[in-house]
Structure 1
Amino acid sequence: MSMNRPVVTALAAALCLLTAACGDSSDNDTASARTTEAANARSGYPVTLENCGRKTTFEKAPSRVVVMNGASVGEVSTLLALGVQDRIVANQQSYGMSEVKGRAAAIKALPTGDVKPNDAFDIPREAMLGLRPDLVLSTTSYGFDGKNGFATRDQLSDVAANSYISPEGCGQDNSKMTIADSYTLLRDMGRVFNVGDKAEEVIAASKKNIDAVSAKVKGKKTPKVMVLFSNMSMGSNDFSSVVAKGIYNDILAKAGGTNPFENASKTSFADLSKEKVAATDVDALVVVAYNDPNPAAYAKKLLKEFPQWPAARNNTYVTLSDSMYIGPSNDLAVEKIAKMLHPDAF
């Protein structure tokens, strides 16, 4: 059936109104690109991070997150602080206690993915790939080392999963870590999950608290503080879990203290003999508990073992847990240590 010209013209005009597709094709492509760009701007995506020499792009917020062990709770605590814990499908980080009320219980309630850790105490390659993650978090590069039986970053990328190593964790020595790295972790995860405002809120509150505490102890004598992990062995000597370097020293400095064992090692921990420990004046103890139900008992045992310490004579110690790690709560460690060292300032 043939149509006369006016009818064809009218039909074409009607289709133009319905489809808005009557312009030049290049104009349509430009308009479509602008629409996509505007939508991306509103959503905050794509987001590209430079992480340990690797560019990682997120087209949307991750929805299947796996948190590797790493003997830390910094990464999972950061996700909790940002309110995105519902994206976690498997968490291997556990502490058993926290300076933040309710956090230990919240971590315990997270799904584990029913994963059986391998001999390297973390998620083996096959189990990791079976979890179908779109983001895997690791404290250090150790968690992506194929020699340990873990999925590598390339293997994860092959199944469309992004990976992230926490600040100063590109190697396996985080002796240069500071509180600023906790803020970097918060900001990076804020961008990844499009909750940047929340990240800045947490950072601002932390800085405000630390600045207030530091102002109170400024100019005061800086006691010598021994920081160590309770009932843990990391070397061959009696005291192999004594802190030498890392974020712990930044926390101590802001609390008005100093670490007498800072130069005992080039790495995070000093492997010390009992004689070396006994010969050092220790004014106060910070005992960090890692899945230890009674760190106070360990502190009291040490004070009894070294009665010559000023810390023993004055019974000066504090027990802490996750606030001493990279994570969102370093301000609480600063505050608690400062109150122990300088009670008259509060």
Structure 2
Amino acid sequence: MSMYRPVATALAAALCLLTAACGSSSEVTASGSTTGAAASKSGYPVTLDNCGEKETFEKAPDRVVVMNGASVAEVSTLLSLGLQDKIVANQQSYGMSEVPGRAEAIRKLPTGDVQLNEAYDIPRETMFGLRPDLVLSVTTYGFDEKNGFATREQLKQVGANSYVSPQGCDDDPSKMTVADSYQLLRDMGKIFNVSERAEKLIAASEKNIAAVSAKVKGEKETPKVMVLFSNMSMGSNDFSSVVAKGIINDILAKAGASNAFENASGTTFADLSKETVAATDVDAVVVIAYNDPDPAAYAEKLLKEFPQWPAARNNTYVTVSDSMYLGPSNDLAVEKIAKSLHPDAF
């Protein structure tokens, strides 16, 4: 599948899938304009410093619009926190998930009957017509006026807050780690006054990752892994959807592996020739499915194409989907990859 720039950017943000003037994108600050008793009882007001913008919430949002961005981080985070009833229009979907029932739950969400613009997201006037009180975007790209989108200031003028996910401020997901997924959960927990729920999800994920990492820590081998999207073209070479940097490298490290192409690019994706790929030792392949119904077939075809790889000789590959991106389920990717590459440790 060929990808236009907006989709590729947002995928990168979601690795995000895939920005960080704000580092961890937000901080909760005190608001002195409301009495302490009222604030402590209701949890509001909450003020976030998000990509240089002050966003104050007087109550939990009731009309949330989730912009496309080829991400599922934001909608999956809302679902994991039990906030699906707050969504009036969702444009995010990958068609599959490591979490049972999540893809189906996303498909059932309202879309607002939105006609996307040439930048593959919600145009300005359509956004206003949805009457949102919170708009979520993977990166600041989703609030860029020249792309036909409503700006954050324009949204404020109609009474809507806005939020850019962690590492979305500079549109540079190459720095992203699993900690950014936790930051997204925490921020949504604060905005919707469900922080306890968010912290339980984070604690469970951290516990699972720690247990997996402890099991693979003593393994002598650290497999070199090729991570790429199945049946996707994002550049001019044969292998233009190979991941070089970002949250995926953090996931690999926690699973006892390393990225064979980490140094192939200074950005999230590497655009590689077949010759370069053939000349690299690859111990295992991780194929990320983006609306691909049969990523295993793609992985098997790839291994046949490069029989010299140790991965091909041992038929070692893993297929994953949304757990490899920014979002609430990174621990599932860590566990699945670790069990495939280090079966004797489990």
Q: Offset of 1:234 from its aligned partner?
A: 1.0
Distance of 1:75 and 1:219 partners within structure 2: 35
Distance of 1:270 and 1:161 partners within structure 2: 37
Mapping of residues 270-309 of structure 1, within 5 Å: 270-309=270-309
Equivalent residue for 2:225?
A: 225
Equivalent residue for 2:142?
A: 143
Structure 1 pair 242–34 and aligned structure 2 pair: CA distance change class (3 A) = closer
Letter of the aligned partner of 2:40 in structure 1? A
Equivalent residue for 1:45?
A: 44
Instruction: Show structure 2 runs of 5+ residues with no match.
Output: 1-31
Distance of 1:207 and 1:52 partners within structure 2: 26
Letter of the aligned partner of 1:341 in structure 2? L
Deviations along 1:175-231, one digit per CA (max 9) or x if unpaired, are: 100000000000000000000000000000000000000000003211000000111
Equivalent residue for 1:312?
A: 312
Equivalent residue for 1:55?
A: 54
Structure 1 pair 35–176 and aligned structure 2 pair: CA distance change class (3 A) = closer
Deviations along 1:68-97, one digit per CA (max 9) or x if unpaired, are: 111110000000000011000000000110
Structure 1 pair 34–284 and aligned structure 2 pair: CA distance change class (3 A) = closer
Q: Is the contact made by 2:71 and 2:138 (CA closer than 8 Å) also made in structure 1? A: yes
Letter of the aligned partner of 1:296 in structure 2? A
Equivalent residue for 1:171?
A: 170
Q: Is the contact made by 2:216 and 2:338 (CA closer than 8 Å) also made in structure 1? A: yes
Distance of 1:99 and 1:113 partners within structure 2: 26
Letter of the aligned partner of 2:325 in structure 1? Y
Distance of 2:154 and 2:232 partners within structure 1: 33
Equivalent residue for 2:96?
A: 97
Q: Offset of 1:41 from its aligned partner?
A: 1.2
Q: Offset of 1:35 from its aligned partner?
A: 9.6
Deviations along 1:129-153, one digit per CA (max 9) or x if unpaired, are: 1101000001111111111111111
Alignment identity in percent?
80
State the secondary structure of the residue aligned to 2:242.
strand
Distance of 2:39 and 2:213 partners within structure 1: 41
Mapping of residues 159-238 of structure 1, within 5 Å: 159-220=158-219, 221-238=221-238
Distance of 1:268 and 1:150 partners within structure 2: 25
Mapping of residues 263-274 of structure 1, within 5 Å: 263-274=263-274
State the secondary structure of the residue aligned to 2:98.
coil
Letter of the aligned partner of 1:76 in structure 2? V
Mapping of residues 123-134 of structure 1, within 5 Å: 123-134=122-133
Equivalent residue for 1:106?
A: 105
State the secondary structure of the residue aligned to 2:174.
coil
Deviations along 1:89-121, one digit per CA (max 9) or x if unpaired, are: 000000110000000000000000000111111
Distance of 2:203 and 2:33 partners within structure 1: 35
Structure 1 pair 254–35 and aligned structure 2 pair: CA distance change class (3 A) = closer
Q: Is the contact made by 2:34 and 2:45 (CA closer than 8 Å) also made in structure 1? A: no
Q: Offset of 1:55 from its aligned partner?
A: 1.2
Distance of 1:35 and 1:82 partners within structure 2: 27
Distance of 2:256 and 2:36 partners within structure 1: 49
Q: Offset of 1:334 from its aligned partner?
A: 0.1
Question: Relative contact order (C-alpha < 8 Å, sep 6+): which is higher?
Answer: 2
Deviations along 1:48-69, one digit per CA (max 9) or x if unpaired, are: 1111111111000000000011
Equivalent residue for 1:17?
A: none
Q: Is the contact made by 2:238 and 2:274 (CA closer than 8 Å) also made in structure 1? A: yes
Mapping of residues 327-346 of structure 1, within 5 Å: 327-346=327-346
State the secondary structure of the residue aligned to 2:180.
helix
Q: Is the contact made by 2:72 and 2:322 (CA closer than 8 Å) also made in structure 1? A: yes
Q: Is the contact made by 2:255 and 2:334 (CA closer than 8 Å) also made in structure 1? A: yes
Distance of 2:126 and 2:230 partners within structure 1: 32
Letter of the aligned partner of 2:337 in structure 1? I
Deviations along 1:271-326, one digit per CA (max 9) or x if unpaired, are: 00000000000000110001111111111110011111111111100100000000
Structure 1 pair 266–39 and aligned structure 2 pair: CA distance change class (3 A) = same
Distance of 2:214 and 2:106 partners within structure 1: 33
Number of matched pairs: 314
Q: Is the contact made by 2:230 and 2:295 (CA closer than 8 Å) also made in structure 1? A: yes
Instruction: Show structure 1 runs of 5+ residues with no match.
Output: 1-32
State the secondary structure of the residue aligned to 2:179.
helix
Deviations along 1:244-276, one digit per CA (max 9) or x if unpaired, are: 000000000000000011111111000000000
State the secondary structure of the residue aligned to 1:127.
helix
Q: Offset of 1:36 from its aligned partner?
A: 4.8
Q: Offset of 1:40 from its aligned partner?
A: 2.3
Q: Offset of 1:34 from its aligned partner?
A: 11
Distance of 2:250 and 2:196 partners within structure 1: 26
